Amino acid sequence: MNADESHKFYVPAPGDDGGSPAPPEGEPPPAPATPPAPATPARPPAAGPRQVYVPEQTEPAGAGSPGPPAPSMQRPASAGPPTSVAPLPVAPARSRRPPGRRRRLRLPRKRWLWLAIPLVPLLLVAGFGLYLYSLFAGVNRVDLSGVLTPQNGPGVNYLIAGSDQRADGSVAGERADTLIVMRVGDGTPKMMSIPRDLWVPISGTDGSAKINAAYNGGPARLVATVQSSLEIPIHHYVEVDFVTFGSLVDAVGGVTINFPHPAFDTNSGLSVDQTGPVELDGEQALAYVRSRHYTEVIDGVPREDPTADLGRQLRQQEFMKAVMGKVGATRNPVGLTKVARALGKDLTIDDDLSAFGALGLARGLAGTSPDTLILPTAPGREGAQSVLFLQEQAAIPILDQLR
């Protein structure tokens, strides 16, 4: 080997450990090759019974340049027994379970149920009110707007007319028209009967007659006659046929009338053989209020009522107190339905008074004892007729209670 050759180096072949061949003379040496990036070592598990390996997040490589190798998602091996792996912190699995969905659907139903329960009684009451309203749909109404006195205070006067038309002619007894003025709203209720034989000027005519003759001219003439002859205001008008009174008594289960002695009236059909409080059905109550020849059996001797029309007024007032107090005390739906059916066919009221307002009049008398007012009158004759004349001076303190 010569001296020149002794300075030469052995160049291993590519892939040998000796490196790469030297570049030719005159050329710059190539840039050293960039060694590959070392793989990111896996994080050792932290101390504790349960660990989760979470790989490092890497930003995505730019377009056209390969990114680093994806980290391994496998948990590194560790010595000792395997440990359980906790779930990743994601949305709870129970939110996707069918039971969870069923539970969310049940809750609104329960809330609606609790909201609906208090409405049930209101709906029942409203439905029952509509039903009663339908029963009162047949109530007769009369326009008395130009005759009735407008109400300007708490006291309200009702003119109650009991008619005995007996269109079928099947009812025994005499015709008995009843006129009662009832005042409520300003203290103890008051009740005053107007004798049917009271001789007064008839409104709208040039003459005078018994006050029940005004009834033949219709409700407007009757109201006007009562107001002008007695100088009292009438705010509402209620008219009931006597046959309806019988049905009304049966609807409320009868009325109780006190009889000091056994009594009868062969003309009206009344027959009571007991003393003390006696419960009358509709038929006997009607015979009682119609009676004009009321006869009591005292010590075994029949004695006809000597007070005549005055005694009849008192019996009518006692009956009205009993039946209206019973109607006013009726609260159960069955009883109210019977009352509505009894009144719905033969009840006449003014346009400004509702059927429920008429029931309110009866309720105002429930549990109370109205003051009985007796209109002072004196018997007399007018031509061939037996009549009653108003004692005007004595009547002033009585009528003032209705003004």
Residues 186 and 153 sit within 8 Å (Cβ to Cβ): yes
| DSSP conformational letter for 191 | E
pLDDT value at residue 157: 92
Q: Residue 278: its pLDDT value, please?
A: 93
What Cα–Cα distance (Å) separates residue 393 from each residue in 16, 159, 192, 373, 397?
A: 152, 23, 17, 15, 8
- pLDDT, residue 3, reads 47
Contacts of 157 (CB under 8 A, 6+ apart): 181, 182, 183, 232, 233, 234, 235, 236, 402
Question: What's the pLDDT score for residue 176?
Answer: 42
* Cα torsion 250, 287, 157, 347: sign: positive
Contacts of 116-119 with C-beta under 8 Å, sequence gap 24+, read: none
Q: Check residue 213 and give its pLDDT.
A: 86
Contacts of 85 (CB under 8 A, 6+ apart): 50, 52, 75
Q: What is the CA radius of gyration of the chain?
A: 53
pLDDT of residue 37: 53
Chain CA centroid to CA 395, Å: 45
The whole-number pLDDT of residue 268 equals 86
Q: Which residue has the tokens 């009843």?
A: 178
pLDDT of residue 40: 53
The model's pTM: 0.62
CB 341 within 8 A of CB 131: no
What residues in the chain have per-residue pLDDT under 50? 1-12, 14-19, 52, 58-65, 72-74, 78, 105, 107, 128, 131, 167-176
Asked whether 331 and 337 are in contact (CB, 8 A), the reply is: no
SS3 of 142, please?
strand
Looking at residue 199, its pLDDT comes to 93
For residue 64, give both structure tokens.
């056209």
Distance CA 257, CA 246 (A): 14
Q: What is the pLDDT of residue 24?
A: 52
pLDDT at res. 262: 93
Angstrom distance (rounded) from CA 88 to CA 71? 18
Q: What is the pLDDT of residues 144-159, one digit of tens each?
A: 988 999 988 888 899 9
Identify the pLDDT of residue 200.
94
